[in-house]
Amino acid sequence: MINTSDLWMPLTRTLWVGSVAVVLAKVFKLVESAQVRWGAITGAHLVPLICLDV
C-alpha cells in the first residue's frame, strides 16, 4: 500500500526553497526589468497604434 505522506514529501521540500527575502528580491528584479521594457511606451498617442496592433 502507498503511504500518501511519501507522495507529498518531495513537493513540500521543493515548494518552499529559499527564504522570504530571496523570493522578494527575485520579484523585485522581475518587476524592475518589466518596468524597463514597459517604459519604452511613454506617450498616450501610441495607445491607438498598440490597439490596432501596428
State residue 23's pLDDT score.
Answer: 80
- End-to-end alpha carbon distance in the chain: 60
Is this model's pTM higher than 0.75 or not?
no
Q: In this structure, are residues 41 and 50 in contact, taking their beta carbons and an 8 Å threshold?
A: yes
List pLDDT tens digits, range 3-54: 555 555 555 555 555 677 888 888 888 888 887 777 655 677 777 887 887 5
What domain range includes position 30?
A: 4-51
Split into its structural domains, the chain has a count of 1
Sequence-distant (6+) residues with CB within 8 A of 41 are: 50
State residue 51's pLDDT score.
Answer: 81
Rounded Cα–Cα distance for residues 44 and 50 (Å): 10
